[in-house]
A and B are shown apart, each in its own frame.
Chain A
Amino acid sequence: MSISKIMKKSIWTSNPIAFQVLGVCSALAVTVQLKSGLVMGLALTFVVSGSNVILSIMRHYIPHRIRIIVELAVISSFVSVLDLFLQAYFFDISKTLSVFVGLIITNCIVMGRAEAFALANDPIPSFWDGIGNGTGYALVLIAIASFREIFGSGSLFEIQIIPESFYDMGYSNNGLVLLPPSAFILLGLIIWSLKTLGGAQGEE
Chain B
Amino acid sequence: MSQYIKLMIEKGDILMSNNTYTVVFTLVMCTLISFTLAGTSQLLQEKRVLNRQIDMQKNILNAAGKNFTRSDEIQEAYRNLVSPMFISSEGDVLSTENQEKGALEIFKIKNNDDSTKIDAYVYRVLGKGLWSKLHGFLAVNSTGQQVIGLAFFDHGETPGLGAEIEKKWFCDNFVGKKLYKDNKLVGITVAKGKAKNHPSYKSMSNHIVDGISGATITSKGVEKMLSKDPLKYHNFFNK
Measured CB to CB, the residues of A under 8 A from B are 30, 32-33, 36, 59, 61-66, 70, 73-74, 77, 80-81, 84-85, 87-89, 91, 95-96, 98-99, 115-116, 119-120, 148-149, 152-153, 173, 175, 178-179
Q: Which of A36, A63, A81, A179 has the most CB of B within 10 A?
A: A63
* Pairs A–B under 8 Å by Cβ, sample size 20: A30-B159, A32-B159, A32-B161, A36-B159, A62-B25, A70-B29, A73-B29, A77-B36, A84-B41, A84-B44, A85-B40, A87-B44, A88-B47, A91-B55, A96-B159, A120-B4, A149-B160, A173-B213, A175-B214, A179-B214
Q: Tell me the residues in window 11-48 of chain B with beta carbons closer than 8 Å to chain A beta carbons.
A: 13, 16-18, 21-22, 25-26, 29-30, 33, 36-37, 40-41, 44, 47-48
Tell which of A77, A115, A148, A179 touches B37, judged by Cβ atoms closer than 8 Å: A77
**In the docked arrangement, what's the CA distance between A33 and B162, Å?**
13
B87 CB to closest chain A CB (Å) equals 30
Asked if B80 is an interface residue, CB under 8 A from chain A, the answer is no
Asked if B96 is an interface residue, CB under 8 A from chain A, the answer is no
B179-203 CB mask vs A (1 if < 8 Å, else 0) is 0000000000000000000000000
**In the docked arrangement, what's the CA distance between A88 and B173, Å?**
32
Tell which of A64, A175, A178 touches B16, judged by Cβ atoms closer than 8 Å: A64
Tell which of A89, A152, A179 touches B47, judged by Cβ atoms closer than 8 Å: A89
Asked if B112 is an interface residue, CB under 8 A from chain A, the answer is no
**In the docked arrangement, what's the CA distance between A65 and B17, Å?**
7
**In the docked arrangement, what's the CA distance between A66 and B22, Å?**
8
Tell which of B2, B8, B30, B40 touches A81, judged by Cβ atoms closer than 8 Å: B40
**In the docked arrangement, what's the CA distance between A77 and B25, Å?**
17
**In the docked arrangement, what's the CA distance between A64 and B160, Å?**
44
What residues of chain A lie closer than 8 Å to B16, measured between beta carbons?
63-64
A115 CB to closest chain B CB (Å) equals 7
Q: Answer whether A178 and B160 are a contact pair too, CB < 8 Å, given A64-B16, A77-B37, A119-B4.
A: yes
A-B contact count (CB 8 A): 79
**In the docked arrangement, what's the CA distance between A84 and B13, Å?**
38
What residues of chain B lie closer than 8 Å to A175, measured between beta carbons?
213-214
Q: Answer whether A64 and B8 are a contact pair too, CB < 8 Å, given A32-B158, A73-B29, A149-B160.
A: yes
What residues of chain B lie closer than 8 Å to A32, measured between beta carbons?
158-161
B49 CB to closest chain A CB (Å) equals 10
Asked if B51 is an interface residue, CB under 8 A from chain A, the answer is yes
**In the docked arrangement, what's the CA distance between A178 and B13, Å?**
53
B146 CB to closest chain A CB (Å) equals 30
B21 touching A63, Cβ below 8 Å: yes
Asked if B3 is an interface residue, CB under 8 A from chain A, the answer is yes
